[in-house]
């Protein structure tokens, strides 16, 4: 058998990347100009960091912005805060779940209540009914009214 002869190995051509990530799909070429612009707002937000900025710098900055947003939203009360007996959206969902469990289906939309009668589509009412059938007993009691049991 004749020995195999190997051809010299040539390195692969390197393509020039347009952005720091190496993706060209996040850029749009302006018509009539040789400029590149971001394709959507998130790319525009990170556009200044497209080259030469480490991910170890970008990640902490993004996490700080997220943390600042969460801290800022925690300064105010939730929906229905300080408005008894309604107590907000979570209490409304719990109340609707109780209605669908304890009333016959024909009464769901016609039962006269002071507040929070069923006012959403029937498929959602059946969803509340189904969740009510899988409930934990301490979560739906009529005497609770928005207060957590201890």
Which pLDDT tens digit goes with each residue over 27-65?
666 666 777 666 777 777 777 766 766 777 888 888 999
- pTM, whole model, 2 decimals? 0.42
**CA 25 to centroid of chain Cα atoms:** 24
Please answer whether residues 79 and 89 qualify as being in contact, where contact means their C-beta atoms are separated by less than 8 angstroms: yes
For residues 1-11, average pLDDT: 71
Which has more confidence, 26 or 126? 126
Q: Which residues, other chains included, contact 111 with Cβ-Cβ below 8 Å and sequence gap of 6+? A: 99, 103, 117, 118
Q: Are 139 and 94 in contact (CB under 8 A)?
A: yes
Q: How confident is the model at residue 5 (pLDDT cuts 50, 70, 90)?
A: confident
Instruction: Specify the pLDDT at position 67.
Output: 95
Of residues 23 and 4, more confidence is placed in: 4
Give me the residue spans of the domains in the chain: 34-73, 89-139
């Amino acid at each position: 058998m004749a020995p195999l002869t190997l051809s010299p190995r040539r390195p692969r051509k390197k393509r020039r990347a347009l952005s720091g990530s190496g993706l060209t799909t996040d850029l749009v070429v302006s018509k009539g100009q040789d400029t590149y612009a971001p394709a959507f707002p998130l790319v525009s937000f990170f556009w200044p960091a497209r080259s030469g900025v480490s991910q170890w710098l970008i990640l902490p900055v993004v996490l700080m912005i997220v943390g600042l947003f969460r801290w800022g939203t925690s300064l105010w009360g939730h929906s229905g805060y300080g408005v008894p007996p309604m107590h907000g959206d979570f209490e409304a969902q719990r109340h609707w779940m109780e209605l669908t469990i304890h009333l016959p289906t024909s009464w769901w939309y016609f039962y006269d209540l002071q507040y929070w009668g069923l006012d959403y589509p029937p498929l959602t009412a059946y969803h509340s009914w189904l969740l009510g059938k899988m409930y934990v007993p301490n979560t739906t009691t009529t005497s609770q009214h928005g207060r957590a049991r201890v």
